[in-house]
Structure 1
Amino acid sequence: MSAPPDAAWFARMGRDLLREGDVPVTLDRVVGRGADVVPGAEACSITLRRQRGSATTAAATDPAVVDLDEAQYALDEGPCLEAVLGDAGTLVARDLADDPRWPRWGPVAVAGGFRSVIAVRLQAPGNATGALNLYASGPDAFTHDSIDVAEVFAEHASAALDHAHEVSGLRTAMESRHRIGMAQGVLAMRYGIGFEEAFEVMRRVASDTNTKLRDLAAEVLDRRELPPHLVADAVPAEPEEDTA
């Protein structure tokens, strides 16, 4: 893109990103748009923070920048890692061949064919943190306009990822609820118990076996019954008929 996009362009782009409710697809769209819209950018990746403080590359336009991201995680230094785990909002490297901040990672990036980087902190799915990483092969590839555009784009990317995560979570919850309801019906028919009693049986089995309710429901639907070794303890015995 020869000139920085205007507000109307960003509005259209934001609406386009928000249309997708799938997290992996949204991640791929974000890195593709990032490499296209930020002046000077040749490749883009997204770093996401994992539990316990580690990081991973969730999407990238070029396998070469995945390698550079992974080198940051292994060496425990680099702009993308600092944007995710540190306090800085945006980090810019104008020439990694002459940048003292990352003495071990900088030479790796230069050897990999990249000398300029922008890393912008973003809010990632599930309220985790992440970074939008933009790479260029030449030195001083990014102008002040590039940085401004990257920061605005990161805000839209954060909103799109948050939206996709929410939609994906709702979809999963609805699918789980439907599966659990079907499993209740199977147990009610199989053991001659009420619908609510079937749910209580599933809840008790899930708790006793440390199993998620949705996973137990999937097993019930597959077997068309409870696992045999659990039936005696889980399902109320039918009252004996009075033959007197």
Structure 2
Amino acid sequence: MALLARDLLAQDSVQATLDAIAASAVKLVDGCDAAGILAVRKGRAVTLAACGRAVQECDRLQGELGEGPCFDLARRKDGERIYRIADMTRPQPTWERFATRARPLGVGSMTGLLLYTDNDDFGALNLYARRPGAFGEDIETAGWLLASHAAVALADARTIDQLEHAMETRHAIGEAMGILMERHKLSADEAFSVLRRISQNHNIKLRDVAQRVRAEPADPT
């Protein structure tokens, strides 16, 4: 698990981290044939990462039906942090519509764990197996360990992405200010005021204004 944590932290983007989480689940959890991360955004099921053929189709079904084990877990409809469907071939009163359509996909059992850090919910880590009864309580423990490490890595990855985005924005604005200062003999404050005025007048983000100035420095306004 220590090596896993180091590997996840070494990823260079949020998407790479998500992909590594799903792949690690298949590799490390006994009986797991596929794994994915699902988020619910504005009532829609969104597949953030998938390792295995069944993942995206199961996510699509749950989004289409507006219900399902991963879907309900990701939006914390009932406050649960984990679910387990031991045998998909048996009747599933809670998610019968989903179970009926998931069986032909070769899903025999499922386990899902809420992926979160403190109060930040990132979605659900979902494990799929072809055979019924693949996931017992011992597997859930391993899944929680994986989800805990993955959530921390994902939180760090998000923080890194935010910092990188802020640095890129700052760099773009600085370059645009330099262009305006050189071409129009403006001070730094005056150049920034020009950028801000364009942003406000045209309802465009300051970074986008800066990028336009960099692309067409001869006609910044």
* TM-score of Structure 1 vs Structure 2, range by shorter chain: over 0.9
67, 70, 76: which one pairs with 1:77? Answer: 67
Q: Deviations over 1:194-244 (max 9, x none)?
A: 1221001101110111101111100000001445xxx4xxxxxxxxxxxxx
CA gap 1:226/1:123 in 2 versus in 1, 3 angstroms: farther
Q: How far, CA to CA, are the matches of 2:11 and 2:130 in structure 1?
A: 31
Structure having the higher Rg: 1
Q: How far, CA to CA, are the matches of 2:13 and 2:37 in structure 1?
A: 16
The Cα shift of 1:128 comes to 4.1
Gaps of 5+ in 2: none
9, 32, 47: which one pairs with 1:18? Answer: 9
Task: Using structure 2 for the length normalisation, give the TM-score.
Answer: 0.93
Show structure 1 runs of 4+ deviating over 3 A. Answer: 126-129
Q: How far, CA to CA, are the matches of 2:177 and 2:121 in structure 1?
A: 35
Q: How far, CA to CA, are the matches of 2:121 and 2:137 in structure 1?
A: 28
89, 105, 113: which one pairs with 1:97? Answer: 89
Task: Using structure 1 for the length normalisation, give the TM-score.
Answer: 0.85
The Cα shift of 1:13 comes to 1.2
Match of 2:47 in 1: 57
* Bigger proportion of residues as strand: 2
- Are the equivalent residues in 2 in contact too, given 1:92–1:117 (CA < 8 A)? yes
Match of 1:170 in 2: 163
Percent of pairs identical after alignment? 36
Q: How far, CA to CA, are the matches of 2:210 and 2:120 in structure 1?
A: 29
Q: How far, CA to CA, are the matches of 1:21 and 1:49 in structure 2?
A: 24
Partner secondary structure for residue 39 of structure 1: coil
Q: Deviations over 1:135-191 (max 9, x none)?
A: 001110112110111111111111111111110111111011011000001011122
Q: CA RMSD in A?
A: 1.6
- One-letter code aligned to 1:102: W
- Are the equivalent residues in 1 in contact too, given 2:45–2:62 (CA < 8 A)? no
- One-letter code aligned to 2:27: D
Q: How far, CA to CA, are the matches of 2:86 and 2:219 in structure 1?
A: 62
The Cα shift of 1:83 comes to 1.1
Match of 2:37 in 1: 46
Query: Any residues of structure 2 matched to 1:202-213 within 5 Å, and which?
Result: 202-213=195-206
104-113 vs 57-66, greater mean Cα deviation: 57-66
Q: How far, CA to CA, are the matches of 2:155 and 2:122 in structure 1?
A: 11
